[in-house]
Amino acid sequence: MSSGRRSNEGAAALGRAARSTRRRLATAALVAGVSLVVAACGSSSSSSSSSAGSASSSTSASANNANQSAASLGTVLYGQLPPAGTPQTGGTITQGQLTGQTPTYIFPIAPGSNSSSGTFSFLTELFMPLYGGPLGARPQVNYPMSAAAGPPVPSNGDKTYTVTLKSGLKWSNGTPITSKDVLFWYYLLRAAIKESPANWGQYVPGEFPMDVTSATAPNATTVVFNLDKAYNPGFFLNNQLQDTNGGAYPLPSTVWNVESANGPHVTDWTNPAVAKKIYDYLSKQGGAVASFATSPLWQDVSGPFKLKSFSATNSSYVLVPNPSYGGSPKPVFSQLDVNTYTGFTSELDALKSGSLDIMVGLDPSQLAEAPALKQQGIYVFGGPGWGWFGGIINFKDTTNHFDKVIAQPYVRQAIAYLTDQPGIIKGVYKGAAVTAYGPVPSAPISPYAPADATTPPYPYNPSSAVSLLKSHGWKVVPGGQTTCAKPGTGSGECGAGIPAGTPISFVWANQPQSVSTTGALESEALASEAKQAAGITITLQTKTFNFLTSNYNNQNPAASKYTNDWGVNNYGGLFMDFYPTQDGVFNPGGGFNMGDYNDPTANSLISQSVFGGDPNAVKNEASYLTKSLPVFFMPDADYLLAVSNKVGGPADGWTSMTQQQWFPQYWYVNKG
């Protein structure tokens, strides 16, 4: 399993597009599976509004962000959080969702094609994960919401992990939640992946669960996983089991152990053939949107809510509290109505009219209304997430010898020097974004951020870009076409495989501006700067998100006919799990390595992050990738929200939403 990503429709809600499952594509659901979701630096009207819990000062220092301390870990915000208010018991809260970002799956083993923020938040509303999170905007497990009592305990040289469940947890039918329910999930998951790796969006070949040699339940609250190799403990918890992007869930082993609608309950589900039949049935039912609220299967839940209704027409749904929920906090309001809107404008109009309480996702173009909204008692806020946005480089595109040109680190560095991130944040994102020079952005603070996360290795400087190209044998023609004047591999020459006269010219693909305003505008800004300052020709092209993630993707064999059609794919980015290794993203054969980046040093560092015991390994990996530029990193956009003063809640309930994870159990109707 690799580090988390899931398709980040939040990016789309930002007007820019996609992130992915344990790497989640930042926009709509990613069709191929491996999960993830993306303010002080550059944000205006920032405020720090929640405490760090168990965060230490050393954790804060490791992120090297002068605008944050341990007390504000993960809370760099745009705008202002809603006040906590005074809770009343009962009442109805209304929340918005956009067409295309609605839940599409209800069975908690989600395929890559269903790996989206809407689906994962829906699942955590109904089912208690083994390891829930985040804790506010802090990349750490939220144990009050988790079925596990604490982190998995490593032994046997980090090849054995023991998980202890809380005692006293129950399903909504009164049955205890036990270790057998975790084993049931594990055996169904193995069957799903054996059938097809795409059946679980988080799966990375050779990793969990196919690396488990045995899984046992010595007693009702203990599960032991024996693995065929050692894993970094941080990786095993935060990328193999943690739930933000579709991790582990206890499943009701005495209810869902059926192979058909009217079939008998079977007990030998450890048998792979039986597990496959159960999985096939549950998976089919899990995607049947029309029966989400009517199927008896989904009435037995463990999360804070039960599903009262679900519209087969537009996927609006209604939740009511689950009295048997054993986590914390417990919901105190009576009903949550989640209503679907066709666009940002109609959703904002509903909020202003009073028919909507919580708007999930604003477009930056709507930020100009924030002062007027505040006068109406509506609070606008947002924050960046853990992950990255940027243009994925196609290292196999042979057009104009681009594969040879872009293989030269100095060429990638020159283009980075031409990328004005602070200017893009101000002009395109209206201040609602942070700088991000590598796979770990400058905010929010992460205990895994390298010390140089806030320091650009190649700060915006067009003259540095021009000097760098000239020193490597290029004839630079500002406003015209720069070409290789000194072919060869020696000092001051262009590099291997680059003939004389070769231009620096390539296609840069985006989503249409009507879908991804910010993504298109930032690309236009770079293309203009590159041409005028350094004679680099970037031809802008638009394609749909699905086209970009499927066809401009070197990992898709069916897309080989498009290999020479694109040089850079700026579909969005990846929303990472808490432990931000780029395993599966920037190493050979990774499901999200869309451009075929391959660097022996990066491969070694990624391997150490996953399999080594050094807790700093992932920091070393991120620092190296920041300098080596596997993609052209762009600012990390804030996920923007708006909340009526009718609704209150603690800061953690709001800041978690900036990570595209909503926990309505935190919310309540304010006393009048």
pLDDT confidence tier of residue 393, bands split at 50, 70 and 90: very high
pLDDT at residue number 18: 31
How much of the chain, in percent, has pLDDT values that exceed 70? 88
pLDDT at residue number 139: 86
pLDDT at residue number 512: 86
What confidence tens digit (pLDDT) does each residue in 209-221 have?
A: 999 999 999 999 9
Peptide bond before residue 197 is cis, with ω within 30 degrees of 0: no
Judge whether residue 5 has pLDDT over 80. no
What confidence tens digit (pLDDT) does each residue in 210-261 have?
A: 999 999 999 999 999 999 999 999 999 988 898 666 789 999 999 999 999 9
pLDDT confidence tier of residue 27, bands split at 50, 70 and 90: very low
d(CA 126, CA 115): 16
What confidence tens digit (pLDDT) does each residue in 604-652 have?
A: 999 999 999 888 999 999 999 999 999 999 999 898 999 999 999 999 9
pLDDT at residue number 550: 85
Residues of the chain with CATH 3.10.105.10: 387-632
pLDDT at residue number 244: 63
pLDDT at residue number 206: 85
CATH architecture label of 387-632: Roll (3.10)
pLDDT at residue number 90: 97
Residues of the chain with CATH 3.90.76.10: 9-292+639-669
Question: Do the beta carbons of residue 462 and residue 417 sit within 8 Å?
Answer: yes
pLDDT at residue number 239: 85
d(CA 9, CA 186): 28
pLDDT confidence tier of residue 9, bands split at 50, 70 and 90: very low
Domain 9-292+639-669: CATH superfamily, name plus number: Dipeptide-binding Protein; Domain 1 (3.90.76.10)
Beta strands in 365-501 (DSSP E): 378-383, 387-393, 433-434, 474-475, 483-484
Question: Do the beta carbons of residue 584 and residue 24 sit within 8 Å?
Answer: no
Half-sphere exposure of 338 (CA within 13 A, CB side): 28
DSSP 8-state secondary structure symbol assigned to residue 593: -
**Highest mean pLDDT, choosing among 29-33, 217-221, 547-551, 575-579:** 217-221
Tokens of 128: 């208690």
pLDDT at residue number 118: 86
What confidence tens digit (pLDDT) does each residue in 566-599 have?
A: 999 999 888 777 889 999 899 998 878 999 999 9
Mean pLDDT of the chain: 87
Amino acid (1-letter code) at residue 649: G
Lowest model confidence (mean pLDDT) among 16-20, 114-118, 288-292, 456-460: 16-20
What is the 3-state secondary structure of 47-107? CCCCCCCCCCHHHHHHHCCCCCCHHHCCCCCEECCCCCCCECCCCEEEEEEECCCCCCCCC
pLDDT at residue number 40: 23
What confidence tens digit (pLDDT) does each residue in 269-320 have?
A: 999 999 999 999 999 999 999 999 999 999 999 999 999 999 999 999 999 9
Of 134, 136, 132, nearest to 71 by C-alpha is: 136
* pLDDT, mean of residues 516-545: 94
d(CA 3, CA 112): 14
d(CA 343, CA 157): 52
What confidence tens digit (pLDDT) does each residue in 395-422 have?
A: 999 999 999 999 999 999 999 999 999 9
Judge whether residue 66 has pLDDT over 60. no
Written as one string, the DSSP assignment of 179-210 is: HHHHHHHHHHHHHHHHH-GGGSTT--TTSTTT
Question: Do the beta carbons of residue 520 and residue 546 sit within 8 Å?
Answer: no
* pLDDT, mean of residues 557-563: 94
Judge whether residue 60 has pLDDT over 70. no
pLDDT at residue number 13: 32
Tokens of 47: 């405020």
Parallel/antiparallel/unpaired status of strands 92-98 and 335-341: parallel
pLDDT at residue number 3: 36
DSSP 8-state secondary structure symbol assigned to residue 331: P
* Buried b or exposed e, range 105-134, using 16+ CB within 10 angstroms: bbbbbbbbbbbbbbbbbbbbbbbbbbbbbb
Half-sphere exposure of 241 (CA within 13 A, CB side): 31
Written as one string, the DSSP assignment of 375-410 is: HTTEEEEEE--BEEEEEEE-TT--GGGHHHHHTSHH
* pLDDT, mean of residues 125-135: 95
How much of the chain, in percent, has pLDDT values that exceed 90? 68
What confidence tens digit (pLDDT) does each residue in 426-482 have?
A: 999 988 999 999 998 888 878 888 888 889 999 999 999 999 999 999 999 999 999
